[in-house]
Amino acid sequence: MCGIAGIVSKDDSNVSGQIMKMLSIMRHRGPDGCGLVIEKAIQRGLSLDELNVESTGGSVAMGHTRLAIVGGLYGQQPLEDCQQKLILLHNGEIYNYRELRKELEPNHRFITKTDSETIVHLIEQFYNGDLLQSVTKTLRYLDGVYALAVSDGRDIVIARDMIGVKQLYIGENERYLAFASERKALWEVGICNEMRLLPGHLAKLSEDGIILKKVLEPPVNLKTSIYDFYEAIERYREVLIEAIRKRVDGLNKVGVIFSGGIDSVLIAKIASEFTDITCYTAGLVDSEDVRYAKLAASKIGLKIRVKELDLEDVERYILKVMEAIEDRLFGQVEVAIPVYAAVEMAHEDGLKVMLTGQGADELFGGYPWYRAIVEREGYQALERYMRDDILNLYRETLEREDKITMAHSIELRVPYLDPKVIEVAMQIDSKLKIRSSKDKLGKFIHRELAKRIGVPADLADRPKEAAQHGSGVHEVILEIARRNGFDEDIVKNIGYDSDKSIRERLGSSIRYGYKYGKKELWTVPDYVQLYLDEIALKQKLVCESELEYIKNIGQHLIFI
């Protein structure tokens, strides 16, 4: 896990200082090493302070900060092919790299033991002068998650995995084209109109601009073919166990972001068969998540660390979370706080890898509004909504949690979003997920598998509760906003409209879930969003162009 960045000057000016700015603001993503290439000159070191750009200049540069997991400390990037024609940056993990390396070794010289080096030699195998085509072919062989960039001296091609587990942003202004693992790196060089490189897409960057191309499709459009309960259980068991095994293989210690809900309990139970697991939970004292997490760890025999939060803790975390996730949307901030506090404990324990249960609700029908969809519109409509939610995970969940873990130099791995797990889940009849509109739990096949591998029934059948409510954070933030002087009257008096402030609405509950359930649970109070906007303005947590509306509103507030 790492951070990558690159920049191309449109007017042939020197970008060495700009690439260092981009890497410096993302140094938390890679404390174990770094490197850069300016034109064709490569430097590598254990820290950014070791790199010297004063004597090096050029109009094209790429850089990397490294979190060492595979290959130890001897794998600083950029990496080169045998002919030194190709230069690669990679953020992520390739789970089948050993098999690929074995096939490549007879004809390629490997310098490191990293999974990343396998990619550059695979591209070399296909390279015939067309970089875009050779990267396209390479991606079809990779089992893993990644954001990568490769240059052949003429073009830069960047790519993102088919699910979007690893984020990558691109953008341009009048002077530069650039890409980076985090938005703030682009803001640092004056690019505020950044956009995501979409999952399964490539982009070619040159002085002429950006060319986008979709090359991979996630396995979400498969026809239902598994109708039998026992077949569904066995197929799901097989692919989930393998997905978890390969994500903890070779690791002595792994953490789990643990709420005591069925998704994280099932992950922790299976992972504990392969490695040493510690569960990490955060929430308000006596919150449902804290209570269930302690109970689950005790019943299954798992180690657990719990951080019990109070109002002052939550208020302190708000700023930290907004800075980490590069977002100020209330729904994102409130969900992120218990995750951030849990990951913080894992960092204190020196962990480098954590597992999460994200993705299970979208694959197996866990959200409470899914039942209402079945009742009102039927199972075909349910399947459309679930596919849509899976395809939106990259921006609604995965970016947020990757940024939180990487703020603590920890890699997050997502077993439920292994392509094989998705493939099997999408083939299972949706009636084995939600048995009827009266099924108050959902995720039937998912819960039944948990029981069959030893999860007690009271844990397996715990009803779904959103993280912000299960942890108790939601109501506390409402109180914090009021304590800081924000309420409905202020919103009314100054004419504030959160729809004009927020760039995009994230989360299926916000996009459409409120239509099928208790609207008050998912509607964002404008006064709370205004409070978060005020923090973003004061602390300069967004790009300058996004501050204009907040500034105009802010001039009416005595708090700013």
Active site residues: 2
CA distances from 390 to 147, 214, 224, 362 (A): 19, 18, 16, 6
Instruction: End-to-end CA distance of the chain: give it in Å, rounded.
Output: 38
- Rounded to whole angstroms, the Cα distance separating 59 from 211 reads 19
- Rounded to whole angstroms, the Cα distance separating 359 from 361 reads 6
Task: Work out the angle between the directed axes of helices 311-325 and 330-348 (0-180°, nearest 10).
Answer: 100
CA distances from 76 to 46, 63, 556 (A): 8, 11, 50
- Rounded to whole angstroms, the Cα distance separating 497 from 530 reads 9
Which phi and psi (to 5°) does residue 494 adopt? -100, -5
Specify the 3-state DSSP secondary structure of 231.
helix
Q: Please, what's the b/e burial string for 158-186 (b: 16 or more CB within 10 A of its CB; e: otherwise)?
A: bbbbbbbbbbbbbbbeebbbbbbbbbbbb
- Rounded to whole angstroms, the Cα distance separating 121 from 113 reads 13
Q: Which residue type is seen at 498?
A: S
Token code pair at residue 183: 């938005």
What is the DSSP secondary-structure string of 405-468?
A: HHTTT-EEE-GGG-HHHHHHHHHB-GGGTS-STT-SS--HHHHHHHHHTT--HHHHTPPP--HH
Residues 6+ apart with CB under 8 A from 273: none
- Rounded to whole angstroms, the Cα distance separating 81 from 546 reads 41
